[in-house]
């Protein structure tokens, strides 16, 4: 049996793709890069931007003939598009066999065992890579005004710390050398009285020769306890992805990000004071409703001041029902394109 996986968007989807891969390999299935040769196809969709949603719809529509070519093919679609538009997908693309909304806490091995591989035993999965991701929380309760994630992935739900630690220990025992903790906002992690800083310390104290990092941090929740904890970690790789989004306080407020540019800078300064070796990356959005030339200049200034190792920049697109979709999308697309190109050109050589 051959399977293929197409994963779009964020690290959560890529982590889920890895779970699917490990389970299917453990029961003897073979992966192919060419989905035309596959019996099962898994598509993990993203709707965080209009462009991503259009690509997902385009690809799913193109699969009608793939499904019809062979009787026993199985098409499984997961991710945010399913949470957002399950009814529409069912009515427009009835040839999809299984829809898995991203708002569910998915354990793919359990799901696949139940639905597709009822009788197959699970053996320890052969690991492809010594770098593995561990999901620590699902969903998000922040409601940044441009973001659809809280609507499609639901409110934040944190996994119990004991479960996370035991998953990490198993991965380490099987030869993994690097762990990435995943959540939409890892800094707000909470399990009873244990917070993100406590979780980091517990992971750091696990025995073994490994490093770890975490994605994604929110500046609003990067509190003093986390900052001082980072300074003492021995196994943290020093990679820090801390989305700024805009250098303009006016735009940050409209985005409901909950910090000012200066507060962001203070966090970075405090962390760099204790760990000068951090590899700082960020996300930026250009063309948010009402973004003036002056606002955009503040974003460019932030890029030059903060010395990011790399950053990801995107053009704004309204994602209803996220709140900013009710604002007039008044920055012309041509200007958004120009601003995006300008920002991307300002990446230093070696940045990506």
Least distance in angstroms from the C-beta of 127 to ligand SF4: 29
Among 111, 218, 336, 339, binds ligand SF4 (CB under 6 A): 218
Closest to ligand SF4 by CB, 132 or 185 = 185
Among 14, 59, 66, 143, binds ligand SF4 (CB under 6 A): 143
Closest to ligand SF4 by CB, 66 or 312 = 312
User: Taking contact as CB under 6 A, which single stretch among the options 73-81, 85-93, 105-113, 135-143 is the one that binds ligand SF4?
Assistant: 135-143
158 is an interface residue for ligand SF4 by CB under 6 A: no
Least distance in angstroms from the C-beta of 146 to ligand SF4: 7
183 is an interface residue for ligand SF4 by CB under 6 A: no
46 is an interface residue for ligand SF4 by CB under 6 A: no
User: How many Å is the maximal CA-CA distance in the chain?
Assistant: 62
Among 17, 24, 149, 331, binds ligand SF4 (CB under 6 A): 149
Strands of the chain (E only): list them: 2-7, 30-31, 40-45, 74-79, 98-101, 131-135, 137-138, 157-158, 178-182, 190-191, 194-195, 211-215, 239-241, 279-286, 310-315
80 is an interface residue for ligand SF4 by CB under 6 A: no
Contact call for residues 191 and 158 (beta carbons, < 8 A): yes
Closest to ligand SF4 by CB, 149 or 278 = 149
What is the C-alpha to C-alpha distance for residues 184 and 316, in angstroms, rounded to an integer? 19
Closest to ligand SF4 by CB, 49 or 218 = 218
Question: Cα separations (Å) of 241 from 95, 222, 300?
Answer: 39, 12, 18
What is the C-alpha to C-alpha distance for residues 171 and 178, in angstroms, rounded to an integer? 9
30 by DSSP, 3-state: which? Answer: strand
Closest to ligand SF4 by CB, 145 or 266 = 145
Closest to ligand SF4 by CB, 41 or 152 = 152
Least distance in angstroms from the C-beta of 10 to ligand SF4: 9
Among 13, 45, 137, 185, binds ligand SF4 (CB under 6 A): 185
Strands of 183-338 (E only): list them: 190-191, 194-195, 211-215, 239-241, 279-286, 310-315
Contact call for residues 3 and 39 (beta carbons, < 8 A): yes
- The interaxial angle of helices 11-26 and 108-115, nearest 10 deg, is 50
User: Taking contact as CB under 6 A, which single stretch among the options 22-30, 96-104, 141-149, 292-300 is the one that binds ligand SF4?
Assistant: 141-149
Q: Which of 348, 274, 258, 339 is nearest to 309 (CA)?
A: 348
Least distance in angstroms from the C-beta of 256 to ligand SF4: 8
Closest to ligand SF4 by CB, 218 or 339 = 218
The rounded Cα 3 to chain-centroid distance in angstroms is: 23
140 is an interface residue for ligand SF4 by CB under 6 A: yes
User: Taking contact as CB under 6 A, which single stretch among the options 145-153, 167-175, 197-205, 262-270 is the one that binds ligand SF4?
Assistant: 145-153
DSSP code string of 219-237: GGG--HHHHHHHHH-SSB-
The rounded Cα 309 to chain-centroid distance in angstroms is: 19
Cβ contacts of 323 within 8 Å, gap of 6 or more: 143, 145, 146, 256
Least distance in angstroms from the C-beta of 159 to ligand SF4: 17
> Strand 178-182 vs strand 131-135: parallel, antiparallel, or unpaired?
parallel
Least distance in angstroms from the C-beta of 60 to ligand SF4: 23
Among 79, 150, 154, 219, binds ligand SF4 (CB under 6 A): 150
Phi, psi at residue 263, to the nearest 5°? -65, -40
User: Taking contact as CB under 6 A, which single stretch among the options 14-22, 137-145, 164-172, 326-334 is the one that binds ligand SF4?
Assistant: 137-145
Contact residues toward ligand SF4 (CB under 6 A) are 140, 142-144, 147, 149-150, 184-185, 218
């Amino acid at each position: 049996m051959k399977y293929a996986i197409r994963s779009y968007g964020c690290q959560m989807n890529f982590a889920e793709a890895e779970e699917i891969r490990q389970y299917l390999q453990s029961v003897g299935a073979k992966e192919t890069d060419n989905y035309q040769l596959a019996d099962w196809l898994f598509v993990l969709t993203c709707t965080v931007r209009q462009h991503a949603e259009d690509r997902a719809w385009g690809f799913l529509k193109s699969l009608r003939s793939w499904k019809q070519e062979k009787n026993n093919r199985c098409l499984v679609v997961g991710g945010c598009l399913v949470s957002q538009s399950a009814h529409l997908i069912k009515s427009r693309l009835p040839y999809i066999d299984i829809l898995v909304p991203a708002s569910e806490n998915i354990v793919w091995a359990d799901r696949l065992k139940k639905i597709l591989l009822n009788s197959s035993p699970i053996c320890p999965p052969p690991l492809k890579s010594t770098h593995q991701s561990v999901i620590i929380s699902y969903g998000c309760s922040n409601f940044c005004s441009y973001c659809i994630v809280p609507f499609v992935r639901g409110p934040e739900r944190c996994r119990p710390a004991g479960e996370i630690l035991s998953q990490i220990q198993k991965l380490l025992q099987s030869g993994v050398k690097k762990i990435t903790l995943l959540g939409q906002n890892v800094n707000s992690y909470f399990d009873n009285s244990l917070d993100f800083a406590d979780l980091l310390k517990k992971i750091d104290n696990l025995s073994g020769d490994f490093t770890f990092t975490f994605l994604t941090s929110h500046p609003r929740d990067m509190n003093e306890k986390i900052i001082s904890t980072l300074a003492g970690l021995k196994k943290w790789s020093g990679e820090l992805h801390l989305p700024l989004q805009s250098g303009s306080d006016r735009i940050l407020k409209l985005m409901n990000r909950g910090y000012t540019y200066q507060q962001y800078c203070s966090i970075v300064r405090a962390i760099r004071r204790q760990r000068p070796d951090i590899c700082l990356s960020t996300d930026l959005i250009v063309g948010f409703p009402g973004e003036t030339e002056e606002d955009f200049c503040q974003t460019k200034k932030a890029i030059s001041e903060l010395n990011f190792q790399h950053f990801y920049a995107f053009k704004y697109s309204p994602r209803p029902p996220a709140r900013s979709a009710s604002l007039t999308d008044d920055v012309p697309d041509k200007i958004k394109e120009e601003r995006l190109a300008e920002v991307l050109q300002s990446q230093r050589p070696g940045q990506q």
